Chains A and B, each alone.
Chain A
Amino acid sequence: MKSLVAAFCLVLSAAPVAAETVNVKVGVLREAHARETLSILDIPAADDTLAGALTGAADNNTTGKFTNQTFEAIDAKLEDGDDLVAALDALLDKGALFIIADLSPERLLAASERAKPKGAVLFNVSATDDRLREADCRANVIHVAPTRSMLADALTQYLIWKQWRRWLLIKGSHPKDELLAQAFRNSAKKFGAKIVEERVYEDTGGGRRSDSGSVQTQRQIPVLTQNAPAYDALIAADESEVFGGYLPYRTWDPRPVAGSGGLTPTSWDPSHEQWGALQLQNRFTQTFRRLMNARDNAAWLAMRMIGEAATRTGSNDPEKLGLYLLGKDFSIAAFKGVRLTLRPWNQQLRQPILLSDGRMIVSVSPQEGFLHQTSELDTLGVDQPETKCTLK
């Protein structure tokens, strides 16, 4: 009993230092993202997502020197046609019981099912689908990436603050474009914007690169946007990267563009420098010779959450660390100006959303004046009273 008390005091008073080194193994299970982006600046690098996880592991290892803990990121990249289950099993066999998952919704759910018997915890760093936090939520998945509804609400709050309430909504022709369009519709209803007309931009196939593309685009976009009812802002729902980036400066009426082009809501942007973010941008760029995107940042943050839980509990047991992350004592600093915590009802990370024009951070939501009884961050996305999630 005496030794138990002594051990407890130690935990309270100083960083828990394990007698033997505690190794925390983290798998980075990632699928390749489309290289068909409108801007060549957005073409994913070979180490997309992984570089963020490695930056987080390096940060955790600096702390680990004082706590006798080490952190390791094990890469598992899925090429076209690769078997998800085989890749995940290989990670689990190596003892990686924390999985940073950069996967499509279907694959994320399959991975969650497969990882369950091993007690592994997954950290979703890229899928923005609301259903993964609602009807399809899973007890062993923590969502670091924001949802479409959080991103849409973040943008809408700013547009309302600007009094740009009348929107022309143009959506792409793919299912995920419709999901984003629906998030904008919900958001408009929630905060009092009006969609004056909706249009669809059909994807007729073809590539993004050509040697004189701008000549055609300059003539196509005015046609797409003419004869619209009076509106304040053009909202693009184009996750498939077919037209959103082409809209600014080319619309029939001189109007600002937002959504999947122009002013874009995102969890991270290479131009973000406030609240100490410049330090993270610097150390990422110094090591990887490129800029940090939102997936890299979410992977860094997932690794930091694992590190924080390991430091505070002195353990590498996924159950213990999961309990800590979902408990009332957990919060994490992520260069967003406020502490981030998890929504206990669906394991979604609460976070401010950046509004970027691609060069600068224009604003950060939640906007001033949007109030909430628990946390102003819960004005973004589906809130507890509306949730359909029952964790299992």
Chain B
Amino acid sequence: MHIEVTNAPSPTLPRWRGRGSRFGLSFVFAKGRSLASPLPRSGGGTGRGLWVAALLATLIAPAHAYKAYVSNEKGNSITVLDTEKMEATSTVKVGRRPRGIALNKDGSELYICAGDDDAIQVLDTKTLKVTGKLPSGPDPELLALSPDGDVIYVSNENDNLVTLIDVKKKEMIGDIPVGVEPEGMAISPDGKLLVNTSETTNMAHLIDTQSKEIVANILVDGRPRFAEFKKDGSELWVSSEVGGTVAIIDPAKRELKQKISFDIPAMSKEAIQPIGISFTRDGKRAFVALGPANRIAVIDAETKKVEKYLLVGQRVWHLAFTPDEKYLLTANGVSNDVSVIDVASLKVVKSIPVGAFPWGVVVAPQ
């Protein structure tokens, strides 16, 4: 018999607990893999209410069914979700330690950084089969795709390099030396500026994609992990996991404009660790995942004020909107689930069980 532990058992109650039994202990005894069907949570008072709300929402405005892909760092798998049914539809075995994931333009291929296999795997999203791999250098963690989809930029932590890969030819076409432990990768909407963050050097390196030269190095707070451009390219946001802040950079002037910090009542400063960042298409709102603070900060992207903190699962990593921006999905590492946020009401409406240690999440364009 195979025993699957969906939540880490703990003799004492986790501090963030306080919403009924949503994250109660549940051991699931299953033959083989059971991730395809949603697991009933113990109790369920809150759950049922949320279900009704979700059903009502579906009745009023029929949502599109999108496919979301979640990388499970410890599960060595990708969970595929149906965003309308809000459940897992399949689980695909992939390489070891999958973290950063990205879809190509039409959503036909998913690129997966399989860190412990030193490769980027290519998953055919129709057949859900791994069709090949791209050479990446050792331990790839995050990647960025050029707007035309021809070049993948990968951060290779062990070599202090950003590696360039030609997607069609499946070959490495260059590398750029950066700071210690490169991690976050983002590319400006016009494709001209690449940004890489280095976790131990604590810089955002701005790189001209034409010349492949670094054009500016901007110091940010400790352990910068993720970078994201606003959709109009006017601002670049960089999250510092250990520093606990988000730096806002003017990409044209290549300078730091300001920093956003977070304050959650009764939560220690050290536990607030910003990671994933997502902007709404109109650039008016930003959502920032706060790691072990188990919350998403909702930020007015114009005034830079935090409007609200939304409680999600444990150690939340990365985020993705559905293309209609109705929902925002969050990958929650320690609680092995994806939280679904209703963007209009700013409410967490559902928790979907996925594989072990979900890390990255993307949603297909259609």
Q: Which residues of A does B touch, CB under 8 Å?
A: 12-16, 59, 62-63, 65-67, 161-163, 276, 279, 282-283, 304, 308, 311-312, 331-333, 337-339, 368-369, 375-377
Across the interface, which residues of A come within 8 angstroms of B14, CB to CB?
Answer: 368
Contact across chains for A12 and B160 when beta carbons are under 8 A apart? no
Shortest C-beta distance, A371 to chain B (Å), equals 8
Using Cβ atoms and an 8 Å threshold, which residues of chain A touch B15?
368-369
Task: Please give the distance in Å from A94's CB to the nearest CB on chain B.
Answer: 26
Minimum distance in angstroms from A232 CB to a CB of chain B: 15
Q: Which of B163-183 contact A (CB under 8 A)?
A: 177, 179-181
Tell whether, in the assembled complex, residue B242 and residue A279 are in contact, meaning their CB atoms are under 8 Å apart. Answer: no
Pair B216/A14 contact, Cβ less than 8 Å: yes
Cα(A279)–Cα(B179), bound, Å? 14
B181 engages A15 (CB within 8 Å)? no
Contact B201 A62 (CB under 8 A): yes
Contact with A along B317-345 (1 / 0, CB 8 A): 00000000000000000000000000000
Question: Is there contact, CB below 8 Å, between B243 and A62?
Answer: no
Instruction: Given the known inter-chain contacts A66-B179, A279-B157, please indicate yes or no for A339 contacting B243, CB distance below 8 A.
Output: yes
- In the complex, chain A residues whose CB is within 8 Å of the CB of B12: 161, 368-369
* A-B pairs, 4 with minimum CB distance: A13-B255, A338-B270, A333-B242, A333-B223
Q: Is B158 an interface residue (CB 8 A)?
A: yes
- Asked whether, in the complex, the Cβ of A339 is within 8 Å of the Cβ of B244, the reply is yes
Q: Are the CB atoms of B271 and A338 closer together than 8 Å?
A: yes
Q: In whole angstroms, how far apart are the Cα atoms of A312 and B218 in the complex? A: 11
Q: A311-B219, A368-B12 are in contact. List 14 more A-B contacts (CB 8 A).
A: A12-B256, A15-B217, A15-B219, A59-B180, A63-B198, A66-B214, A67-B217, A163-B11, A276-B157, A276-B199, A304-B200, A331-B243, A338-B273, A339-B244
> Cβ of B203: which chain A residues have Cβ within 8 Å of it?
15, 63, 66
Q: Which residues in B have their C-beta under 8 angstroms from that of A66?
A: 179, 201, 203, 205, 214, 217
User: Is A283 in contact with B158, judged by CB distance below 8 angstroms?
Assistant: yes
Which chain A residue shows the least CB distance to B271?
A: A338
Residues of B with C-beta under 8 A to A15: 203, 217-219
Would A62 and B11 count as touching, CB distance under 8 A? no
A12-B256, A14-B217, A59-B180 in contact; A333/B222 too (CB < 8 A)? Answer: yes
B231: Cβ under 8 A from any A Cβ:
no
Measured between beta carbons, the chain A residues less than 8 angstroms from B180 are: 59, 62-63
Which residues of B207-227 are within 8 A (CB) of A?
Answer: 214, 216-219, 221-223
Q: B202 at interface (Cβ–Cβ under 8 A)?
A: yes
CA–CA, A16 and B217, complex, Å? 9
B residues contacting the other copy or chain, number (CB 8 A) = 42
Interface of A is mostly: helix
CA distance A12 to B200 in the complex (A): 19
Would you call A276 and B270 a contact (CB within 8 A)? Answer: no
**CB pair B242 A338 closer than 8 Å:** yes
Q: Which of B179, B218, B242 has the most A CB atoms < 10 Å from its CB?
A: B242
A331 adjacent to B242 (CB under 8 Å): yes
**What are 21 contact pairs spanning A and B, CB under 8 A?**
A13-B253, A14-B216, A14-B256, A15-B217, A59-B180, A63-B179, A65-B177, A66-B203, A66-B205, A67-B217, A276-B199, A312-B219, A331-B242, A331-B243, A333-B202, A333-B241, A339-B222, A339-B244, A368-B14, A369-B15, A375-B269
CB distance from B8 to the nearest CB of A (A): 11
Chain A residues in 8 Å Cβ range of B281: none
C-alpha gap A13/B257 in the complex (Å): 7
Is there contact, CB below 8 Å, between A376 and B158?
no
Nearest B residue (CB) for A312 = B219
> Contacts of B241 on A, CB cut-off 8 Å?
333
Residue pair B222, A332 in contact (C-beta under 8 Å): yes
- By a CB distance below 8 angstroms, the chain A residues around B254 are 13-14
Interchain CA distance A56-B157 in the complex, whole Å: 16
For the complex formed, measure the closest distance between the CB of A173 and the CB atoms of chain B, giving whole angstroms: 37
Contact B201 A63 (CB under 8 A): yes
In angstroms, Cα B223 to Cα A331, docked, is 10
Q: How far is the CA of A369 from the CA of B200 in the complex (A)?
A: 30
Tell me the smallest distance from the CB of B220 to a CB of chain A, in Å: 10
Q: How far is the CA of A312 from the CA of B179 in the complex (A)?
A: 15
Residue-by-residue, is B221-253 near A (CB-CB < 8 Å gives 1, otherwise 0)? 111000000000000000001111000000001
Residue of A nearest to B225 (CB): A276
CA of A375 to CA of B222 in the docked complex: distance in angstroms? 18
Q: Which residue of B lies closest to A14 (CB)?
A: B218
User: A67 to chain B: which residues have CB within 8 Å?
Assistant: 217
- Most chain A beta carbons < 10 A, residue from B198, B202, B214, B254: B202
Query: Which of A161, A163, A283 lies at the interface centre, i.e. has the most chain B CB atoms within 10 A of its CB?
Result: A283
Kindly list chain B residues whose C-beta atoms are within 8 Å of the C-beta of A59.
180, 200-201
Q: When chains A and B are docked, how far (Å) is the Cα of A337 from the Cα of B223?
A: 11
A170 to B175, CA, bound (A): 57
Least Cβ distance of A343 to chain B in Å?
14
> A367 — nearest CB in chain B belongs to which residue?
B12
Give the complex CA separation of A66 and B203 in angstroms: 9
Query: How many Å lie between the Cα of A263 and that of B223 in the bound state?
Result: 30
Tell me the smallest distance from the CB of A158 to a CB of chain B, in Å: 12
Interface centre among B203, B254, B256, B271 (most CB of A within 10 A): B203
A279 to B181, CA, bound (A): 8
A91 to chain B, nearest CB (A): 26
Chain B: minimal CB distance from A276 (Å): 7
In the complex, which residues of chain B have a beta carbon less than 8 angstroms from the beta carbon of A65? 177
Chain A residue nearest in CB terms to B253 = A13
| CB atoms of B158 and A339 under 8 A apart | no
A331 to B243, CA, bound (A): 7
Is B268 at the interface (CB under 8 A from chain A)? yes
Chain B positions 187-208 with a Cβ under 8 Å from a chain A Cβ: 198-203, 205
Given A59-B200, A368-B14, A14 and B268 touching (CB < 8 A)?
no
CB contact between B181 and one of A276, A337, A339 (< 8 Å): that residue: A276
Interface centre among B177, B214, B255, B268 (most CB of A within 10 A): B268
Chain A residues whose C-beta falls within 8 Å of the C-beta of B270 in the assembled complex: 338-339, 375-377
Instruction: Write out the residue numbers on chain B whose beta carbons fall within 8 Å of the beta carbon of A12.
Output: 255-256
**Chain B residues closer than 8 Å to A14, beta-carbon distance:** 216-219, 254-256
Taking a contact as CB atoms under 8 Å apart, the answer to whether A375 and B256 are in contact is no
**Which of B158, B201, B222 makes the CB contact (< 8 A) with A279?**
B158
In the complex, which residues of chain A have a beta carbon less than 8 angstroms from the beta carbon of B222?
331-333, 339
Report the Cα distance A338→B270, complex, angstroms: 5
Minimum CB–CB distance from A340 to chain B (whole Å) comes to 8
Looking at A65, A66, A376, which has the most chain B CB atoms within 10 Å of its CB? A66
Contact of B202 among A308, A368, A377 (CB under 8 A): A308
- In the complex, what distance in Å separates the CA atom of A13 from the CA atom of B254? 8
